[in-house]
Structure 1
Amino acid sequence: MQVKFFKLIFTTLVFSCNFVFPVRTQDLPAPEWDTGRTEKQAVRARRQMVVTANQLASQAGIAILRRGGNAVDAAIAVQMVLTLVEPQSSGIGGGGFLLLYDGATGKLLSYDGRETAPGKARGDRFLNSEGKPLDFFAAVVGGKSVGVPGVVRMLEMVHREEGKLPWRELFQPAIELAENGFPISPRLYELLSREKYLQRFPNSRSYFYLANGQPKPVGSKLVNKPLAGVLKAIANQGADAFYRGEIAQDIVETVNRSPVNPGDLILADLANYQAKKRDPVCGLYRVYQVCSMGPPSSGGITILQILGILESFDLASLKSKPIDLVHLFSEAGRLAYADRNQFLADADFVKIPTQRLLDPQYLRVRGSAIDLNRSMGKAAPGNILASFGERRSTNWLDLPATTHFSIVDKDGNAVSMTSSIESGFGSRLMVRGFLLNNQLTDFNFVPEENGQPVVNRVEAWKRPRSSMSPTIVFNAEKKPILIIGSPGGSGIINFVAKVLVGVLDWNLDVQDAISLPNFGSRNGPTELEADTHYASFKAVLERRGHRVIVIPLNSGSHGIEIKNGELIGGADPRREGVAIGD
């Protein structure tokens, strides 16, 4: 029964993403399985707060704040601990995006630590000998999918500009946990139980599994001295210890000598990696300013498009009619995701019409296609410019192995950070105790359509399009009122937009907004979260012309609301995260 259930999940993912290549669902492992739901209560504090996907990470972050560190310092400590305790989701072998609000100056800063393709990467990277795209997981596992990790270099940049405590001190919580061991959580155990590719690689197999092939049991300690050594080197020598020298050499050799899909990294790819400061993408929604990550993330623009389209509707009145909200939200999602797939990619390689995509008049015109009683079906992208009209970007599978954390310190600084290794357990390749990403499969496998290049095709040193959407919302006085984000692949956009509607339109606190059932459309079927009362909307929506699927929608939203001088922390009931505050 369980096997059939998860086959159904991936069958629906295939349909919802409108694949152009055949996928055999029986061959697909989990990206990051749904592991149940535990209801949570909002946590309230007055001075400072950390919300992450794991209690040990939240404890590390709040400990740094209590020692006088700021939100940036806490973020670094959190990410290092998550590398250890949530290895399936993120880590120093991956990348991320960070939004920072400076409480002293009122400035909002945006940092890009997204992975890059190697210099030898070409558009046909994920095509077979017949020029056809590989089945997705045939490309994921092994060295060919590994991009140059970016999160360490990004965090060093942020700390150099905005950190407070000494860099080396921020690694101590993770180093101590790695040396002394941490207990395997029920979620990690369950994910390991369902994962079938890690055991192909000796380093991954020996770390996570017993000799009989079973995962090490819940509560048993995982000791990771190799990772402790890596963290000590980075703590003492800076990010260069990771991007140059022996650690970099080990990354290159692991990728290129992989027994499955060997890659083509060279040392110069790591040595030349650059984190970047980007302009955040901001837009007005009612009386609020919503700011998020711009390209190479598609998240910020697409969220703002959804909100801009919905602004013409009185969503507050639909709190008692959630089925009508699901209808409107899904229709707005179709329109926004259609534009996402057509126009958005790495802005260093592709001209992106951001201003036009977010123009209120353009969004009103797009929203005028919504019928309150009938679904439009699959939406077409907007007619922005003739020069963009022929450049297509097929919607590709974007799997939800990611993490998000939100932090506010006593001085009013706020960090919203989302980081990822892409698929659950990434490429499955482990180097010195950490897993390497498979982010290059976020590129489109097909480099051209109808003789025209797709915007998100593979190119040397390019950053694959992401959906990660770290977000900060400001009130009319330009003060932050909500720090939010989520994992969830391309579903991140809908998950974050749902929380924004819950808080800003329905006046829910952040915990209740996160706990709302997930729903929406990625310009495929309308998705309703399984085992929630919203699943009962299926029949009515189908009568309105929706093609509806009921599936687990495994978000991991973690947020902090600031209201009346109080911090309100919310952690997603679908994961094992916690909020801790003072």
Structure 2
Amino acid sequence: MMRRGALRWSALAAAALAASAYLAGCAGALPPGDTAPAQPEAASGYVDKPGWTGSRFAVAAANPLAAQAGYQILKAGGSAIDAAVAVQMVLALVEPQSSGLGGGAFLLYFDGRQVEAFDGRETAPAAASEKLFLGANGKPLPFYDAVVGGRAVGVPGAVRMLEMAHRQHGRLPWATLFQPAIRLAEDGFAVSARLHSLLENDKYLKNDPVAAAYFYNADGSPRAVGYTLRNPALAQVLKKIAASGSKGLMEGDVAQAIVDKVRQHPANPGQLTLADLAGYRAKKREPLCSDYTVRTRDYRICGFPPPSSGAIAVAQILGILNRTNAATLALQHGLPSAQWLHLYTEASRLAFADRAQYVADPDFVPPPAGSWTSLLAPGYLARRARLIDQRPDAPAMKAVSAGVPGAVQTSYAPMPAQPEHGTSHISIVDAYGNALAMTTTIEDAFGARQMVSPNAALSGGFLLNNELTDFSFAPTDAQGRPVANRVQPGKRPRSSMAPTLVFDKADGQLVMSTGSSGGALIIHDVAKTLYGVLDWGLSPQQAIALPNFASLGGPLLLEQNRFPAATVSALRARGHEVQEHALTSGLQAIQSGKVGGKPQLLGGADPRREGVVLGE
């Protein structure tokens, strides 16, 4: 894949080249050919990225070593699904704070004809109750009292989901896809500046003896940048999964080690059992697709349905904006104007009110008006848009409540605001016309801060999720009405992950694959990127690099030092509570099209993270 502006990309290009040289050794294993929400991960700098172009295939991932593993699989004739498996396994090693074997994922897959949605979201153990996160006083626990330990660990689903997808769409043998990660785990990888920074800032990880011995020196300092970190315990687990599929993780000695880690935590044990692990089932769901028109071109935007709120919220934001005069507002000096940000913020507040009221696991909670698409119906979005005052100096809405898309009002209580945390995103287009968007997570940075090592004689292992904290800590409101997203046995917690595939509605051709990390802010990061590419005509890299902005229903959050003071002042004058913070998104995107009748792929990766796009 050709790179634009390669001189500005020297540091990460060097990392990718080093990864390429390392992974070439794996070739023999391949066949021929404050009131603001807490940020999911701490900021670790901003490095301009040039964007990438290619024509045959591309993989965008949050770490150069992971992207390189995907590239090697695609180069060897693998499908997008094959590459995603390889990327995920390397991410489990090199980006352990964000995803891994102990977490879950949502995957959208396009096989050239249709879109499929593979649900690998974690589930609550069979013994969990709706009072899981209530203290002895009956009130919700402080967030990190719930996170750290075994209490919040859900049944991991990513590996079983990838196995399901591979059985249907894989081209290379399952075991082949694990070779890059196994080699890296055994031989080691250099600790990056980002991983070092996150280890240095974390307050809880070193309290776990296994994690402390792996990530930290004897004096408690994190492994230095450039330190060769080897993980033979993870390599052993990867070999088991490569040989026997997801049973290598969900049954046998690895499963027993997971259960022991959860149930034997000295201060905050959980309820996970061997039966929970063995009984986990990945699901196929109907993707949630909606139409979006920009001037004379009609798009079809497909995302992940509940238990994710991502696709609904993104589609609502874009659909409400499309029913205002936002389309007349061009970028000013390359940045969104105060008026556009006002309209966007109001649209997002309306979307988040619906999200809090309605969205939860569809196996437990029925959709309003009998269908999730009721929240995206043109008439409903038009009614919501009419609540926004579009005058140039109009004040912000004082209060925002959920709408009523059907004739019958819900009996559920809106979910109170609480933190949501980290993830990693992968976008891939292969040489066969297939594409995917996959967002993968262990929730908070470093998850539950519990590292599982089935073999005590080996260093390292893998981290467990704290995904159950995505449920509402409070099961009911003051009136006793249940919250839709409360804890229930076997239930999947609501998510904000928003893997997205965009198509030209006229001919069904792929336009873009995108997604992001970032907890609830994922919704805004994806909406920004879609709007930037589809409405403002930016390249994926330009759209990703736009300043971040968000509202979760309350204050308007702006990326620190990225907006002019006049813009901030204008928004505050209209009554918006503006807060400026480092908003650490983790966007990836690949745009597909043609130039001069020839295929072209444009790739972009977030300058706030380590990600790259590789391909040909």
Query: The TM-score by the shorter chain falls in which range?
Result: over 0.9
Instruction: Establish whether residue 11 from structure 1 lines up as the match of residue 26 from structure 2.
Output: no
- Supply the distance in 2 between the matched residues of 1:261 and 1:341 (Cα, whole angstroms): 28
Asked if the contact 2:571–2:578 (Cα under 8 Å) also holds between the matched residues in 1, the reply is yes
Say which of 478, 489, 493 aligns to 1:460: 489
Asked if the contact 2:153–2:465 (Cα under 8 Å) also holds between the matched residues in 1, the reply is yes
Deviation digits for residues 379-402 of structure 1 (CA, Å, limit 9, x no counterpart): 100023575433123244343310
Asked if the contact 2:250–2:278 (Cα under 8 Å) also holds between the matched residues in 1, the reply is yes
What corresponds to 1:95 in structure 2?
104
CA RMSD of aligned residues (A): 1.2
Instruction: Establish whether residue 318 from structure 1 lines up as the match of residue 329 from structure 2.
Output: yes
Task: Name the CA shift for 1:534/1:180 in 2 (closer, same or farther; >3 Å).
Answer: farther
Asked if the contact 1:393–1:456 (Cα under 8 Å) also holds between the matched residues in 2, the reply is no
Structure 2 residue runs without a partner (length 5+): 1-33, 454-460
- Supply the distance in 2 between the matched residues of 1:466 and 1:380 (Cα, whole angstroms): 20
What corresponds to 1:391 in structure 2?
412
- Supply the distance in 2 between the matched residues of 1:96 and 1:414 (Cα, whole angstroms): 16
Say which of 169, 184, 197 aligns to 1:190: 197
Asked if the contact 1:378–1:524 (Cα under 8 Å) also holds between the matched residues in 2, the reply is no
Instruction: Establish whether residue 400 from structure 1 lines up as the match of residue 421 from structure 2.
Output: yes
Task: Name the CA shift for 1:359/1:497 in 2 (closer, same or farther; >3 Å).
Answer: same
Asked if the contact 1:529–1:535 (Cα under 8 Å) also holds between the matched residues in 2, the reply is no
Instruction: Establish whether residue 441 from structure 1 lines up as the match of residue 444 from structure 2.
Output: no
- Supply the distance in 1 between the matched residues of 2:325 and 2:54 (Cα, whole angstroms): 32
Task: Name the CA shift for 1:535/1:243 in 2 (closer, same or farther; >3 Å).
Answer: farther
What corresponds to 1:127 in structure 2?
134
Partner SS, residue 11 of structure 1: coil
Q: Which amino acid in the other structure matches residue 40 of structure 1?
A: K
Instruction: Establish whether residue 379 from structure 1 lines up as the match of residue 400 from structure 2.
Output: yes
Deviation digits for residues 305-364 of structure 1 (CA, Å, limit 9, x no counterpart): 111101123434312342222111111000000000000000000001212111110000
Instruction: Establish whether residue 145 from structure 1 lines up as the match of residue 152 from structure 2.
Output: yes
What corresponds to 1:533 in structure 2?
563
Task: Name the CA shift for 1:534/1:148 in 2 (closer, same or farther; >3 Å).
Answer: farther
Partner SS, residue 199 of structure 2: helix
User: Where has structure 1 moved over 4 Å in runs of 4 or more?
Assistant: 385-388
Partner SS, residue 174 of structure 1: helix
Structure 1 residue runs without a partner (length 5+): 1-9, 15-29
Higher mean C-alpha deviation, range 240-249 or range 528-537? 528-537
Query: What is the total number of aligned residue pairs between the two structures?
Result: 556
Q: Which amino acid in the other structure matches residue 348 of structure 2?
A: G
Deviation digits for residues 523-553 of structure 1 (CA, Å, limit 9, x no counterpart): 1111111121256522110111111111111
Say which of 29, 32, 38 aligns to 2:41: 32
Asked if the contact 2:37–2:419 (Cα under 8 Å) also holds between the matched residues in 1, the reply is no
Equivalent residues in 2 for 1:172-187 (5 A)? 172-187=179-194
Asked if the contact 1:393–1:444 (Cα under 8 Å) also holds between the matched residues in 2, the reply is no
What corresponds to 1:296 in structure 2?
307
What corresponds to 2:603 in structure 1?
569
Asked if the contact 2:40–2:519 (Cα under 8 Å) also holds between the matched residues in 1, the reply is no
What corresponds to 1:199 in structure 2?
206
Q: Which amino acid in the other structure matches residue 581 of structure 1?
A: G
Deviation (angstroms), 1:260: 2.9
Deviation (angstroms), 1:140: 0.5
What corresponds to 2:349 in structure 1?
334
What corresponds to 1:262 in structure 2?
269
- Supply the distance in 2 between the matched residues of 1:316 and 1:166 (Cα, whole angstroms): 48
Deviation digits for residues 478-501 of structure 1 (CA, Å, limit 9, x no counterpart): 111110000110111111001111
Deviation digits for residues 271-316 of structure 1 (CA, Å, limit 9, x no counterpart): 0000000100000010111000000000011111111101123434
Asked if the contact 1:535–1:550 (Cα under 8 Å) also holds between the matched residues in 2, the reply is no
Asked if the contact 2:425–2:440 (Cα under 8 Å) also holds between the matched residues in 1, the reply is yes
Q: Which amino acid in the other structure matches residue 253 of structure 1?
A: D
Say which of 209, 216, 226 aligns to 2:216: 209
What corresponds to 1:6 in structure 2?
none
What corresponds to 2:446 in structure 1?
425
Asked if the contact 1:510–1:559 (Cα under 8 Å) also holds between the matched residues in 2, the reply is yes
Deviation digits for residues 159-209 of structure 1 (CA, Å, limit 9, x no counterpart): 001111000000000000000000000000000010010111100100000
Deviation digits for residues 139-169 of structure 1 (CA, Å, limit 9, x no counterpart): 1000000000000000000000111100000
- Supply the distance in 2 between the matched residues of 1:532 and 1:401 (Cα, whole angstroms): 23
- Supply the distance in 2 between the matched residues of 1:265 and 1:405 (Cα, whole angstroms): 29
Partner SS, residue 558 of structure 2: strand
Instruction: Establish whether residue 284 from structure 1 lines up as the match of residue 291 from structure 2.
Output: yes
Task: Name the CA shift for 1:399/1:36 in 2 (closer, same or farther; >3 Å).
Answer: farther
- Supply the distance in 1 between the matched residues of 2:448 and 2:50 (Cα, whole angstroms): 35
- Supply the distance in 1 between the matched residues of 2:403 and 2:386 (Cα, whole angstroms): 12
Deviation (angstroms), 1:223: 0.3
Asked if the contact 2:324–2:385 (Cα under 8 Å) also holds between the matched residues in 1, the reply is no
Partner SS, residue 259 of structure 2: helix
Deviation (angstroms), 1:31: 3.7
Partner SS, residue 109 of structure 2: strand
Q: Which amino acid in the other structure matches residue 413 of structure 2?
A: R
Once the two structures are aligned, what percentage of the paired residues are identical?
51
Asked if the contact 1:485–1:559 (Cα under 8 Å) also holds between the matched residues in 2, the reply is yes
Partner SS, residue 474 of structure 1: strand
Deviation (angstroms), 1:378: 3.3
